[in-house]
Amino acid sequence: MIEGAKWRRWVYFHIPLAGFLIWLLFPFYWMMITTVRPDGELYRPWNAPNYTPFWTNNPTFEHIRYLFAETLFATWLWNTMVIALAATAISLVCGVFAGYALSRLKFPFAGSLGTMIFVTYLVPQTLLFIPLADIIRNFRIGDSPWALILTYPTFLIPFCTWLMMGYFKAIPKELEECARIDGASRWQAMIYIILPVAVPGILSAGIFAFTLSWNEFIYALVFLSSPQEKTVPVGVVSELIRGDVFFWGPLMAGALLGSIPVAIAYSFFVEHYVSGLTGSVKG
């Protein structure tokens, strides 16, 4: 890199970067501080003289206790976990298989099928949620985890397929040719040779699919109605608000705790997530 004077480094680098960091991370700090702040401090008007927004001397776990004791938050966490894991597993299996077929096998209409899957990758959930809700009702899986476990793969599979195609294309075709000459069938060559080599790609697709299904909102909002069936995002939005009254303490506690599983999953696989993210647009 070509570097200039020291003050330039501050003006053009340190200060803007710090600004970005504060801007991007402040809401999370705000979530955290609200979670442990007692109600008495929380509801001081913005112009009150003792409004001390950035710190509290009386941290409390009251909001978290309330969340677990008085609401179905634990159930929502469990629901979300089950749905996200199941949808991710289905999507991975389908996406890995489809990606393998589209990138490594020659068959009629391979090109147009690939294009079709790419197009469905770009279909947003909000385009189809109303007719889909009708279909879910007709299939009698409304208001059950199956409604989401079966529909989440529609936006996860195209993504997984797209990502895996990129990974598979980078694996030399000689590997499976050699395996087939070594006595493996096409199927065995895929299972024993290509899939193990593609593990980083599968992890990327998996972690990405997991966060996407954890974050999904509109299908969960429309397809589920009973409080005990809801996922975290929908539960927090619909059940922690009584009429027009916002209970900010429990709300922020819910937002924080609801984010923690994805944050943990993310922190273990940052590199895979990032390569999934960049791979998702490059292909």
Partner 1 sequence: MATTTEAATGTPRTRTRLLEDERWLAFFLLMPTIVLLALFIAYPFMKGILLSVTNTRVGVPGEFVGLAIFEKVWNDGIFREAAWNTIYYTAVTTVFKLALGLWLALLLNRHFRGKAFIRAFILLPFIIPTVLSTFAWKWMFDPTFSVLNWLLREIGVIDQRINWLGDPDLAMGCIIAVNVWRGVPFFAITLLAGLQTISPELHEAAAIDGANARQRFLYVTWPLLLPVTMVVVLFSVIQTFADFQLVYVLTEGGPANATHLFATYAYQIGVRTGLLSEGAAISLAMFPVLFLVVIFQLLYIRRVETR
Partner 2 sequence: MARVLLRDLNKHYETFHAVKDVSLEIQDREFVVLVGPSGCGKTTTLRMIAGLEAITSGEILIGDTVVNELPPMDRDIAMVFQNYALYPHMSVRDNMAFGLKMRKFEREEIARRVKIAADILGIESLLHRKPRQLSGGQRQRVALGRAIVRNPQVFLFDEPLSNLDAKLRVQMRVELKKLHERLGTTAVYVTHDQVEAMTLGDRVVVMKDGWVQQVGDPLELYNAPANKFVAGFIGSPGMNFAAVSFQREGDTLLAVNHGLRITVPAPIAARLNGHAGRDATLGIRPEDLHLAGPDDDEGHCFEALVEVIERLGSEILLDVKVGPASMVASVPPTVRTRMRDTIRLALDPERLHFFDAETEVAL
Site for partner 2 in 104-143 (CB under 8 A): none
Residues 193-232 that bind partner 2 (CB under 8 A): 193, 196-197, 199
Q: Return the number of the residue (197 or 221) whose C-beta is nearest partner 2.
A: 197
182 touches partner 2 by CB under 8 A? yes
Q: Return the number of the residue (198 or 253) whose C-beta is nearest partner 2.
A: 198
Q: Return the number of the residue (34 or 204) whose C-beta is nearest partner 2.
A: 204
Residues 136-175 that bind partner 2 (CB under 8 A): 172, 174-175
Q: What is the closest distance, in whole angstroms, from the C-beta atom of residue 253 to partner 1 in the complex?
A: 11
How would DSSP label each residue in the chain? Answer: -----HHHHIIIIIHHHHHHHHHHHHHHHHHHHHHTS-HHHHT--TT-TT--TT--SS---HHHHHHHHHSSHHHHHHHHHHHHHHHHHHHHHHHHHHHHHHHH---TTHHHHHHHHHHHHT--HHHHHHHHHHHHHHTT-TTSHHHHHHHHHHHHHHHHHHHHHHHHHTS-THHHHHHHHTT--HHHIIIIIIHHHTHHHHHHHHHHHHHHHHH--HHHHHH--SGGG--HHHHHHHHSEETTEE-HHHHHHHHHHHHHHHHHHHHHTHHHHHHHHHHHHH-
177 touches partner 2 by CB under 8 A? yes
Q: What is the closest distance, in whole angstroms, from the C-beta atom of residue 210 to partner 1 in the complex?
A: 10
| One of 25, 127, 178, 191 touching partner 2 (CB under 8 A) | 178
| One of 74, 110, 135, 181 touching partner 2 (CB under 8 A) | 181
Which of partner 2, partner 1, none does 196 bind, CB closer than 5 to 8 A by kind?
partner 2
Enumerate binding residues for partner 2 (CB under 8 A).
172, 174-175, 177-186, 188, 192-193, 196-197, 199
